Amino acid sequence: MNPIAAIGRTFLSVSDTVGGITLTLLRILRAASRLRFDRDETWLNLYKVGVKSYPIVIMTAIFTGAIMVIQSGQYVKQTGATGLLGWGAGYAVLAEVGPVLIGLMFSGRVGANNTAELGTMKVTEQIDALRALAIDPMQHLVVPRFLAMVVMLLLLTALGDLFALVGGALTSQFILDVDWRVFFNGVFNSQLLDEYLVGLSKGVTFGASISVVSCFYGLGVSGGAAGVGRAVNNCVVTSAIGIFVWDYVITYLAN
């Protein structure tokens, strides 16, 4: 294979995807700005996306906090700087690891589900049926999902942060023998509000990114069940890349 042709093909493919995602975002924002999206569908999606996701987010968050404490624990024990345990775990969890891991879990659960759902609707002509019934799929299906994912990933990140700290405190108490009050003192005395807010802004951005990517791939499905499978796969991969790219951008801007 000609390497230049391969590079050219890859470049065109990436440009096609990025362009498509950008256009999808613009179409979503235009439809959302009319404030005429389906409210029932939005409530339903808030429930599906948020309420049904919180067990997995809490589980992820507890272990994330616990792992952060275990990782820093050996150095804390060696140096006796137990007051830094809360700061170290809190800083890492609130600003970085918490939002990223929750975003990845969210992408795997909600984003993939969204792509599969929209893709199946596309291949079974349900999207065409909506249009034939004079209903705009963007306002009826896509905008409610976008709003639900943005709002719910923000709330889930806030909730996840809390549980990550709880997980850290429990690990600190029972594994490292560092009193949980010492751990929380370390967190609250370190003035981590900025990191917390940066983490939440990542939650909003990841939510928007996952929703746009999943809707783009879902609405672009062709080729039946195999096409849906490919779209879900592409959605998970692209969402993960999106999370890391946006994480880098926000971290860079915040520092």
**Beta carbon nearer to another protein, 121 or 147:** 121
CB of 133 to another protein, least distance (A): 4
Q: Residue 129, interface with another protein (CB under 8 A)? A: yes
User: Which of 82-90, 100-108, 122-130, 232-240 is the region at the interface with another protein (rule: CB under 8 A)?
Assistant: 122-130
Q: Tell me the three-class secondary structure of the chain, residue by residue.
A: CCHHHHHHHHHHHHHHHHHHHHHHHHHHHHHHHCCCCCHHHHHHHHHHHHHCCHHHHHHHHHHHHHHHHHHHHHHHHHHCCCHHHHHHHHHHHHHHHHHHHHHHHHHHHHHHHHHHHHHHHHHCCHHHHHHHCCCCHHHHHHHHHHHHHHHHHHHHHHHHHHHHHHHHHHHHHHCCCCCHHHHHHHHHHCCCHHHHHHHHHHHHHHHHHHHHHHHHHHHCCCCHHHHHHHHHHHHHHHHHHHHHHHHHHHHHHHC
Judged by CB under 8 A, the residue of 16, 128, 179, 194 near another protein is 128
Q: Residue 133, interface with another protein (CB under 8 A)? A: yes
CB of 140 to another protein, least distance (A): 8
CB of 108 to another protein, least distance (A): 21
User: Which of 68-76, 129-137, 215-223, 247-255 is the region at the interface with another protein (rule: CB under 8 A)?
Assistant: 129-137
**Beta carbon nearer to another protein, 128 or 194:** 128
**Beta carbon nearer to another protein, 128 or 179:** 128
Q: Residue 124, interface with another protein (CB under 8 A)? A: yes
Binding residues for another protein, rule: CB under 8 A, are 124-126, 128-129, 131-136, 140
